[in-house]
Amino acid sequence: MEKINATGAPAAIGPYCHAVRSGSLVFTSGQIPVDPATGTLVEDDIISQTRQVFTNLKMVLEAAGLELKDVVKTTVYLKDMAEFPQLNEIYAEHFGEHTPARSTIQVAALPLDCRVEIEAVAEA
């Protein structure tokens, strides 16, 4: 197992690394909408937060030598399932024709009280 930490991504807020490589698979930790420059959440709307999550996720994948096109599965955690259409809009902007498997789960709360968190499994 190889630990991966992305220099430009927000620092972990707990005892974990950004991602782990096991064989040809890379498992990312959940990414939340923290701006790496300030260490704080971006604006409190689902569109801004989802865009920041993808920015952070891309940084973590790049640290592993991968891109979004290498993602085979995502898990999305939403604070409010009513925001699912807006999430889908931004999700489609980033993945385009590449459509990895996905689970979307509504949760009672997320770290720092954000609206969305996304984790991914990618294959090298």
Contact criterion met (CB below 8 Å) for 9 and 24: no
Span 10-34, mean pLDDT?
95
CATH of the domain at 53: 3.30.1330.40
Mean pLDDT score of the chain, rounded to an integer? 97
* Per-residue model confidence (pLDDT) at position 55: 98
The tokens for 106 are 């509504």
**pLDDT in the model for residue 13:** 81
The Cα 124–Cα 111 span in angstroms is 29
pLDDT digits over 77-124, tens only?
A: 999 999 999 999 999 999 999 999 999 999 999 999 999 999 999 999
Which helix (H) or strand (E) element contains residue 90? helix 84-95
Quote the pLDDT of residue 118: 98
Report the domain count for the chain: 1
The domain in which residue 92 lies consists of 2-123
CA distance linking residue 30 with residue 58, whole number of Å: 12
pLDDT score recorded for residue 14: 86
